[in-house]
């Protein structure tokens, strides 16, 4: 029996030229036609939300492997019998690196410096810094842990980690439960959102949340856009009270003319945290290993067990 596998990139077609596997080039977002029949779909998250329903129309689909960690978008379109895996272990480093880039660009006023460069205007800018700041990190999973690791060399005053449940990590890090967040917010100079999008986290960062942050605090979101109430954030940005650095937004893609594009003290990147050459290499290797294992009859790894 031949395992028919839909893949989005030619490099995966080339890597899967293996007896027993028929790789088929098909991109969920870009191909004009629905997918041909296949047992396995390897896919990234479509930038066009309307394309997500294509998963449910793939005949014979038995397994979906995601080229990302996030999986919430595919759940309602996944056939009930199909298994689901993600690319945990291949994405975290690139995402954490981009998170630090966003934070540093905002704190060190790089957008203003770039504007001065374009005007050929030499004028020193006094800035804030990670050094000496109190950072509130929302998320203790793979991405959150990778961010915490990268924060340490910048010598923040402290990094306070919050997740769904309180616990102590193997390295001794104390993780506060989400119910403690109200008391922690007023201490934060920087808040990093590295949470998944769930019913519990949707609009977690709302007007009340933001009102408890000190003047000049920075909100960085590399989790999911719907976790932040965009209207509430815009109100704070327009007042000049808070700053934001966003790789994810709600809506997404962010449409032309949306006020977040031009909001003061707001840096926006187009959901590109994982888009590096090294990520592409790692995530491709992981996908090939997953498909080879399935052909051999091995149990898939990185199974997404929580399908709620």
Q: What is the pLDDT of residues 211-249, one digit of tens each?
A: 999 999 999 999 999 999 999 999 999 999 999 999 999
Range of the domain at 23: 3-90+276-295
Q: What is the CATH number of the domain that holds 171?
A: 3.40.50.720
Active site residues: 224, 252, 271
Angle at 44 between CA 165 and CA 8, to 5 degrees: 160
pLDDT over threshold 80, residue 308:
no
Among 113, 163, 116, 111, residue whose Cα is nearest residue 142: 163
In a domain, 258, yes or no: yes
Residue 172, pLDDT score: 83
DSSP per position, 5-25? EEESSHHHHHHT--TTEEEEE
* CB crowding 99-118: b at 16 or more within 10 Å, else e: bbbbbebbbebbeeeeeeee
The H or E element that residue 160 is part of is: strand 158-163
Q: How many structural domains does the chain have?
A: 2
Collapsed DSSP state (helix, strand, coil) of residue 2? coil
Tokens of 88: 């945990």
Kindly state whether residues 46 and 177 are assigned to the same domain: no
Do 31 and 111 belong together in one domain?
A: no
- Please tell me whether residues 190 and 255 are part of one structural domain: yes
pLDDT tens digit string along 47-105?
898 999 999 999 999 999 999 998 999 999 999 899 999 999 999 999 999 999 999 99
Residue 305 has what pLDDT? Answer: 78
Question: What's the pLDDT tens digit per position in 7-62?
Answer: 999 999 999 999 999 999 999 999 999 999 999 999 999 989 899 999 999 999 99
In a domain, 302, yes or no: no
Distances (CA, A) of 302 to 64, 135, 150: 11, 30, 24
Residues 195 and 232 in one domain: yes
One domain, residues 135 and 191 = yes
Domain assignment present for 304: no
Same domain, 250 and 105: yes
Q: Region 198-202: what's the mean pLDDT?
A: 91
pLDDT for the residue 10: 97
> Are 202 and 243 part of one and the same domain?
yes
- The predicted structure's pLDDT at residue 169: 83
| In a shared domain, residues 253 and 170 | yes
């Amino acid at each position: 029996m031949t395992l028919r596998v839909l893949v989005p990139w030619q490099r995966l077609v080339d890597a899967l030229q293996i007896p027993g596997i028929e790789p088929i080039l098909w991109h969920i977002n870009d191909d004009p036609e629905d997918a041909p029949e296949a047992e396995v779909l390897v896919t990234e998250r479509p930038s066009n939300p309307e394309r997500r329903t294509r998963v449910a129309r793939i005949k014979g689909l038995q397994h979906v492997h995601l080229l990302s960690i996030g999986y919430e978008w595919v759940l309602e379109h996944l056939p009930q019998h199909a298994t689901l895996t993600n690319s945990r272990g291949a994405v975290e480093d690139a995402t954490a690196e981009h998170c630090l880039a966003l934070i540093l660009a905002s704190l060190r006023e790089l957008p203003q410096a770039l504007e001065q460069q374009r005007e050929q205007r030499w004028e020193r800018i006094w800035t804030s810094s990670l050094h000496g700041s109190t950072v509130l990190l929302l998320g203790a999973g793979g991405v959150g842990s990778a961010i915490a690791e990268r924060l340490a060399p910048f010598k923040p005053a402290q990094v306070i980690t919050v997740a769904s449940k309180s616990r102590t990590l193997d390295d001794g890090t104390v993780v506060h439960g989400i119910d403690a967040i109200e008391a922690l917010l007023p201490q934060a100079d920087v808040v990093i959102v590295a949470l998944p999008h769930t019913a519990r986290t949707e609009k977690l960062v709302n007007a009340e949340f933001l009102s408890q942050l000190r003047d000049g605090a920075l909100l960085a979101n590399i989790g999911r856009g719907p976790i932040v109430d965009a209207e509430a954030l815009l109100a704070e940005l327009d007042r000049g009270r808070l700053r934001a650095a966003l790789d994810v937004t709600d809506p997404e893609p962010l449409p032309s003319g949306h006020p977040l594009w031009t909001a003061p003290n707001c840096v926006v990147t187009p959901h590109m945290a994982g888009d590096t050459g090294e990520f592409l290499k790692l995530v491709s290797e992981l996908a090939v290993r997953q498909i080879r294992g399935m052909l051999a009859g091995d149990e898939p790894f990185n199974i997404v067990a929580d399908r709620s």
